[in-house]
Structure 1
Amino acid sequence: MIEITDLSKVYEMGKVTVDALKNVTLSIKKGEFVGIMGASGSGKSTLLHMIGLLDTPTSGKILIGGIDVSTLTEQQKSRFRLKRLGYVFQDYALMPELTVEENVYLTSMVRGTSEKEYLSQTKEILTRVGLWHRHNALQSELSGGQQQRVSIARAVVNRPEILFADEPCANLDTESSRNVLDLFRQINHELQQTIVMVSHEEWHMEYFDRVIILRDGKIISDGPPVLHERTSTLQS
């Protein structure tokens, strides 16, 4: 599904050069729930943004579904993101003037989906995430956990090939975080949804099939989550 080879990202910040990623190579299979973890500044969000076509690598190759996305024009990347990828961010990124229902079906409208189809899809996914009863509510009328569930519904309503989540629980309390992660796991299991999620919380590992740990822009660990063995690695 995802094949990454020798991926590097260098940021020029005035006279300072920052190597955010250094020759990262990895692959992610369809249906995997992968956690990308590491200390602040390790390169985990940078890696997610590269794979999700939200930023451009300095060098290296990214293949998604056999397509070398580094060769796409910006317009082609936009279409690729719209039709094949989904995103969940820590700040929810909802449109405050729209209802819950409207926020979810907005991308379907942009894709050209028929009204009958996108209304049906929206009701189905909001029911799945437990929020159809709030479909007419505005963002200001929702809790943080509910807002994040709306953003997840919006991200998966079109059945993207890959769902990218960047610190989706960063602004939530533990109970709301667990509800969101339970929802991710449900979507992963029931829909065989491929999920790539950035996190810095050690306890989130229990939800992942696989954990990739970065340090200073390099992969230092890649494998099944083992909580008691990995705490020291994340904190070092």
Structure 2
Amino acid sequence: MIVAEDLTKVYTMGRVEVRALGGVSLEVAKGEFVGIMGASGSGKSTLLHILGLLDRPTTGAVTIDGTDVLSLSDHRRTLFRLNRLGYVFQDYALIGELTALENVYLTSLVRGDPKEEYLKKSTEILERVGLGDRIHHRQSELSGGEQQRVAIARALVNSPSILLADEPCANLDSQTSKSILDLFARLNEDLDQTIVMVSHEDWHKEYFCRVVTLRDGLIESVTECR
């Protein structure tokens, strides 16, 4: 499903070059729930952003579902992201003026999907994540856990091949974090949803199929968890 080969990423800051990734290769199979872990500055988010086509590597190759995604034009990369990938961020990235339902169907609206179809799909996915009674509430009326569930619903509404999550529990308490990870685990098991998630919490490992640990921009270890 995902094949990354010898990824490097170097940022230039004035006269200084900062190496975020130093040659990372990994594969993620369909239906896996993979955790990317490591200390702050190890390259976790950089790797996730490259796998999610939010950034380009300095060198290396990425293939997703058999497509060489780095060779795509900007327009085709955008379409690939909209149609094949879903994203969940630690800061939720919701639009405060919109309701939960409107936040979820926004990407479907951009895709040009029929209104009846995207309203039905968005309502159904909000019900699946436990927010069927909150669909008309705005961000200020939702708890942190509810906001993250809206973000998850938005990421899933277009039935992505891969769900990418960048520390989705970072701003949540431990009980709410557990509810979010339980939701991810159900999605992974019930829908065979492929998930790649960045985390820094050791207790999250019990949810992952496999953990890829980074250190200084390199893979330090790969551990099977279940």
TM-score by length of 1: 0.94
Alignment of 1:35-74 (within 5 A): 35-74=35-74
What SS class does the counterpart of residue 97 from structure 2 fall into? coil
Identity %: 63
Alignment of 1:11-160 (within 5 A): 11-160=11-160
Q: Output the amino acid matched with 1:30.
A: K
Counterpart Cα distance in 2 of 1:200 and 1:225: 16
Partner of 1:162: 162
Counterpart Cα distance in 2 of 1:65 and 1:225: 24
What SS class does the counterpart of residue 31 from structure 2 fall into? coil
Deviation at 1:180, TM superposition (A): 0.5
Partner of 1:217: 217
Counterpart Cα distance in 1 of 2:83 and 2:120: 18
Counterpart Cα distance in 1 of 2:82 and 2:72: 14
Pick which of 138-147 and 217-226 moved more.
217-226
Pick which of 209-218 and 104-113 moved more.
104-113
Counterpart Cα distance in 1 of 2:75 and 2:63: 18
Which 4+ runs in 1 deviate beyond 4 A? none
Q: Output the amino acid matched with 1:40.
A: S
Q: Output the amino acid matched with 1:222.
A: V
Counterpart Cα distance in 1 of 2:184 and 2:67: 26
Deviation at 1:27, TM superposition (A): 0.5
1:148-187 superposed Cα distances (whole Å, 9 cap, x missing partner): 0000000001110000000100000001100100111111
Q: What is the RMSD computed on CA atoms of the aligned residues?
A: 0.9
What SS class does the counterpart of residue 149 from structure 2 fall into? helix
Pick which of 112-121 and 61-70 moved more.
112-121
What SS class does the counterpart of residue 40 from structure 1 fall into? coil
- Gaps in structure 1 of 5+ consecutive residues: 227-236
Counterpart Cα distance in 2 of 1:99 and 1:23: 42
Q: Output the amino acid matched with 1:183.
A: L
Residues paired across the two proteins, number = 226
Deviation at 1:124, TM superposition (A): 1.0
Q: Output the amino acid matched with 1:158.
A: N
TM-score by length of 2: 0.98
What SS class does the counterpart of residue 133 from structure 1 fall into? coil
